[in-house]
Copies of this chain bind each other. A is one copy, B any other.
Amino acid sequence: MVRAKSWTLRKHFEGFPKTSDFELKEVELPKLKDGDVLFESVFLSVDPYMRPYSRTMMKEGDIMIGSQVARVMESKNPTYPVGTYVVANSGWTTHFISDGKDLQLLPSWPEKIPRSLALGTVGMPGLTAYFGLFEICKIRAGDTVLVNAAAGAVGSVVGQLAKIGGCKVVGSAGSDKKVAYLKQIGFDEAFNYKTVGSLEEALRKASPDGYNCYFDNVGGEFSSIALHQMKKFGRIAVCGAISGYNDTVPQKGPYIQGPVLWNQLYMEGFIYSRWNDRREEVLKILLRWVLEVRGVTVPQTTVRELMLLPFSQMPVYANKSQVCSHTLLFHTQPVPLAGDMGVGWVCVSIKACRIQYRREE
């Protein structure tokens, strides 16, 4: 018998999540039926989207949503023999039983890259960056691309892919260390939006003739200001609206129809799953870029035990202006991401956006 430990949502978040909104539960999993597979979670992801989605997709008592890299422990399903790795959407749990539906097999995985990247650059965040840039922003060589939350799991890949695409890339992030990191991974311009004084001036200084593309992870006031610096026919990919995820009362800003109209701007919200039919193809592209192109990496940190994670200090939930800090995590153990690139260490030092749970193996 296997006992699964799962973090459940005790109470829907009001404003910032609190420790008391969560509850750890332990259940004994049943025996496998024919077709069933028992998985252990190897890496769990914690992402900003969980804040708004928990409101609409979850009821109190449910296991927290989220995806994981999981490995087959026991199987009565020939498609998933013991030792197979998948990406599943079974939430924050150490073990789970699946009937084999809605699992994604990991592509052929090189030894020198940790499988945690299947939740990062070669997973949802990488797919999000790819489709947002190529399908929504429709980047062309020579474009100037703006991305905010640029040191995050998606933003950092956006910047690196845009450089591969021949663009000038400007990134906004919330600490000087993050800004240094952005320059290290190839951003042409980067600034700390918290210390620039005037965001309007910082944007204008970084690209005096404006922006062709804006990959928006933040929304809110940042977007209201950035909108006015888009070039004619500028393209805006609305990927996230993190500035509003903790709101109980929606924030307000100037109506946007004026600037959208005058410069004939194009804006589209998107979720990577729209292109599920191209998932395999693009994951292979991303994996190739990680292997061949130095620099396509994703900030990540690992923690040894999910159970040690102090929810009151969980970086994603803690403070909307400090989304990425997680100095208080126990047992952080950085993992180099692609051999000698050693970006794992860098990411730890810049307090990257994603935490990933790694069981002892």
Contacts and interface: CB of A to CB of B under 8 A. Distances in A.
Contacts of A257: 216, 219-220, 223, 238, 240-241, 244, 269
A314 B219 CA distance: 39
A255 B255 contact: no
Interface string A230-256: 000000001111011000001111111
A224 B251 CA distance: 13
A223 to B, nearest CB: 6
B240 A261 contact: yes
A270 B262 CA distance: 8
Given A238-B260, A260-B238, A219 B255 contact: yes
Say what secondary structure dominates the interface of chain A: mixed
A226 to B, nearest CB: 11
A252 B250 contact: no
A139 B52 CA distance: 31
Contacts of A264: 268-271, 274
Contacts of A239: 261
Interface in A250-303: 250-271, 274
Interface in A202-235: 216, 219-220, 223-224
When A and B form their complex, which 4 residue pairs have the shortest distance between CB atoms, in order from nearest?
A219-B257, A241-B257, A261-B269, A260-B269
Given A223-B255, A264-B268, 13 more contacts: A216-B257, A238-B261, A240-B257, A241-B255, A241-B257, A243-B255, A244-B258, A250-B255, A250-B258, A251-B254, A252-B254, A260-B269, A266-B266
